[in-house]
């Protein structure tokens, strides 16, 4: 069952150190105040790729930018930051439309940002997104 209590805060650092991509994980998990080199999410509009790369009814994870974009059946786009709202790890796995955080296993719906599985309780942060000349452009919240 989910809902590990506050002890999980410690597990964040220990867990991240064990992961092969520890440098990335630790930097992102502890960044913010100390100004990590990589911004957690786009601070200015960024072109991600062709709109056609995101299947209708599906989603695509842009790990380099920590953004997930989903494409609804009606053609509308949604984008969310993939910095986990639990303790700030970058989410690196997308299966279908389910995002899974490597640190403690929180899951999110890439179409809505909502939490599907604890320990996270807050939804992912929504970003602005649009298609310009067939290219997806995402940026900070409007």
Residues of this chain that interact with ligand FES (CB under 6 A) are 84, 86-87, 89, 101, 103-106, 119-120
CB of 77 to ligand FES, least distance (A): 24
CB of 124 to ligand FES, least distance (A): 11
For ligand FES, the closer of residues 70 and 106 by Cβ is 106
For ligand FES, the closer of residues 12 and 129 by Cβ is 12
State phi, psi for 22 to the nearest 5 degrees: -55, -40
> Which one-letter DSSP state was computed for residue 44?
S
CB of 36 to ligand FES, least distance (A): 15
Which residues neighbour 40 within 8 Å (Cβ) at sequence distance 6 or greater? Answer: 28, 31, 32, 66, 81, 83, 88, 90
Distances (CA, A) of 43 to 26, 31, 32, 52, 101: 20, 15, 13, 24, 22
Q: Contact at 8 Å (CB) between 119 and 3?
A: yes
For ligand FES, the closer of residues 19 and 77 by Cβ is 19
For ligand FES, the closer of residues 90 and 139 by Cβ is 90
């Amino acid at each position: 069952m989910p809902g590990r209590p506050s002890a999980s805060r410690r597990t964040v650092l220990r867990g991240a150190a064990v992961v092969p991509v520890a440098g990335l994980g630790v930097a992102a998990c502890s960044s913010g105040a100390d100004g990590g080199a990589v911004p957690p999410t786009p601070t200015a509009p960024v072109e991600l790729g062709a709109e056609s790369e995101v299947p209708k009814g599906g989603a695509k994870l842009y790990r380099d930018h920590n953004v997930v974009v989903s494409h609804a059946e009606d053609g509308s786009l949604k984008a969310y930051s993939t910095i986990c709202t639990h303790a700030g790890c970058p989410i690196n796995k997308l299966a279908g439309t389910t995002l899974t955080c490597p640190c403690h296993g929180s899951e999110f719906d890439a179409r809505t940002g909502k939490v599907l599985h604890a320990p996270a309780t807050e939804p992912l942060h929504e970003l602005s997104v649009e298609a310009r000349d067939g290219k997806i452009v995402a940026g900070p919240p409007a």
